[in-house]
Amino acid sequence: MWMLPRHQMAAIPEVIGKYRVIRYLGDGGMGSVYLAHDAGIDREVAIKLVRTADESLRRRFRTEAQSAGRLKHANIVTVHEYGEFEAGPYLVMEYIEGLTLSKLIERGEPSTTREKLALLIQACQGLAHAHRFGVTHRDIKPSNLMVDHDGVLKIVDFGIARTSGRDLTVTGKVVGTPAYMAPEQIQGGQTDHRSDIFALSLVMFELLSGQVAFTGDSDYAVINRIVNGAPNPFTHPDADLERLIRPVLARAMARDADRRYQSASELAADLSGVLTRLGEPQASRVLDTEPQPTVPLPTPRRWRRWPAVVAIAATVSIAAWAAWPRRPGSVEPVNPVAVPERPADTPPAVVAPAVTPDTAPPLPAPPTAERPDPVKAAETTSPPPVTTRSPAPAAAIALPGAAESARVRTQLAAAKTAEDAGAYDKAVAAYQSVLNERPGDTVAIEGLASARRGQARARDAAVKARIAEAEQKLGEGGYDDAIAIFEAVLKQDPDSLEAVAGLGRARKAKAAEDALFRSRTKKPPG
């Protein structure tokens, strides 16, 4: 059994609160993790202990406990208790026997496509639940996804999680792991649940292809590729899977968050669709209002022979603060990176050769471009949070309340009329106005989600029309016009594979025409 160096063993406590420590397991985001025994109900638990006098770190640790403690789902590690110990605050969590997804990938497991897609769907289900409660993980990566001996995936280490409306990111720092960070995360911009979806898409790329999506000689090289470059080519020995998964990856990996899947449940639905089209059993139905049963993997028996027992959060996150003592393998937080923007005439990242209408499978309607807070509730039917107010005398609120209700009804009617007329921008503004006054209004929440879906459909229709116009110009020999249109499309939709392919063909045709013209106008020697 692996042991700590002698000078560190002395620091292992015998007891933490009411729990008897059995052994040291590893380091996780912000602290050390121990296996302990809960004598009260005779079970083993994992305890994360933070030894620090830094009040900001303690505050962040309490926030982790509050964020994770609210989440009850089969695919999220369960938090049992938060407490204060003489050495520092601690978090008592579910103990998981199994391996991290990163270890599984190293071992070439799981071996079947169905098992891999089932794990990804489980991750989507866990994230959908967290996002419903306004919690963004912000460090999704293979080492933060645990798989137990029964094939159940658990999302662990919400140590740098952000709760909607509260951002505890250190000023001037970016938290996350470079190879799995979303572009907006790298550039220090606003992050939300869609940053988790981008990170999960990179996990999907790695699990299915066996290689990391973005690589480089340094962290800077990696994040520069994420913002401005192209991922490594996605390849898979199963041609059908490659054809079906490519558009899913392209959408999930979109640089623009508005172009990505707008919910983890949307991504889960498409992954289930891929399984169906491959002729395999559908792995899961989309997450509804309650946490769904996790997707079991078909052959857990070989995983029961895993020799290693891995604790939750057994790897050091790059989010470890500068105040935290460095350990081997730890990574300091990085400053927001001023990565130069990709020039407008440079084709964006392409996951693989362009997907044409003949090769791309039909997908559900384009995503909505909603903001995270109101629309997360629209994607489920879970009740909105209740704001507690001090009671007021009935007479004091009767007339204003009635007036407010009448005004809201008028605004909702106007929003619906605008949406039905196809004036989606106007409808979105009207629904948002209602939500600014009444954040929990379910009619406005659902209407906003619907209007934004309409926005996305209209935008995609406009892009397709412009691409068709460019193709016509290209066929007529109007190469300059075609190039200009394709470039305009890419400014509006940087991830349009059709526009990337069309721009390449138009430039090639233009170059050939220019070469022919030069050869004809060249004066003969003498």
Using CA atoms, how far apart are residues 58 and 52, in angstroms rounded to an integer? 7
Using CA atoms, how far apart are residues 143 and 122, in angstroms rounded to an integer? 15
Catalytic residue of the set 27, 38, 42, 139: 139
Using CA atoms, how far apart are residues 470 and 509, in angstroms rounded to an integer? 13
As to burial, measured by CB atoms within 10 angstroms (0-12 exposed, 13-18 middle, 19+ buried), residue 461 is exposed
H helical segments located in 43-89: 55-69
Using CA atoms, how far apart are residues 45 and 36, in angstroms rounded to an integer? 5
Sign of the four-CA dihedral 277, 279, 280, 283: positive
**What is each CA distance from 472 to 186, 373, 511, in whole angstroms?**
39, 42, 18
Q: Is 150 a catalytic residue?
A: no
Tokens of 71: 């989440």
Determine contact, residues 499/490, Cβ cutoff 8 Å: yes
Longest CA–CA span in the chain (Å) reads: 103
The torsion angles phi and psi of 7, rounded to 5 degrees, stand at -70, -20
| CA 180 distance to own-chain centroid | 9
Using CA atoms, how far apart are residues 384 and 133, in angstroms rounded to an integer? 9
Catalytic residues: 139
